[in-house]
Amino acid sequence: REHGEDSLLGITEGDSALGAMAQARDIKHIALMPIRGKIISALKNNLDDVLANEEVKSIFSALNCGILDKYDSKKLRYGKVGIMTDADKDGLSIGCLIITLFYRLCPQFLQEGRLYWIRMPLYVLKYDKKRVYYAFDEHERDELFQKYGTKCEVSRKKGIGENSVQDNEMAVFGEQKRWERLTVDDWDDFEEKIIMMMGKDTTDRKEFVLQNVDFTHLWGE
């Protein structure tokens, strides 16, 4: 079935996200596909193993766009793909693996700006039935406190599965949604970094981590 350029295939983290998500989405423009655990690493495994992976086969069967030199955006069933994972380190890891998959199998999809990171709310600030606001990190939560006050009911989400239908309607698909389009300004730089961070060779990755990560919080100052 053809859905058009405005349609989106949302790749969700597990089946637990599907219930409330499915009820909140616009069924004409948004389809949801759950994946189990962490998808195969496209740069650490050989191409045959990547293509044999069930999640990979399901994603590209749904998109119908082909891969590598057979990629054709005119055949896409969905104009966009949305990464829909928990707002934690595992969710970030899964998101990075999905980006790596598209880089390996159809970099044109990335270059065309079709991949989105759909951020999940971390905090719900409920002031009354009509005034409900969502924050996607601690900084935004504090900004909402400054703007509307601290006298409200605050809840923190542990994962997508905790979202109610109303949460998804407002903060995932509605007026407070945060869809971040993943664009690449410098393809050569992006390619160098994704191979370093997601590839088989660990030497450069270890050096990058040692130079750029502050470990002092692990043992105190």
Known catalytic membership, residue 185: no
**Which residue among 55, 86, 167, 169 is the active-site one?**
86
Q: Which residues contact 14 (CB under 8 A, 6 or more apart)?
A: 34, 35, 36, 37, 160, 161
**Which residue among 13, 55, 167, 169 is the active-site one?**
13
**Which residue among 88, 140, 162, 204 is the active-site one?**
88
Known catalytic membership, residue 88: yes
Known catalytic membership, residue 90: yes
Query: What b/e string do you get for 54-73 counting C-beta neighbours within 10 Å, with b at 16 or more?
Result: ebbeebbebbebebeeebee
Helices (H), 5-53: 18-24, 47-52
Known catalytic membership, residue 86: yes
**Which residue among 5, 15, 72, 90 is the active-site one?**
90
Q: Which residues contact 103 (CB under 8 A, 6 or more apart)?
A: 42, 43, 110, 191, 194
In this structure, are strands 132-135 and 123-126 parallel, antiparallel, or unpaired? Answer: antiparallel
Residues tagged active-site? 13, 86, 88, 90
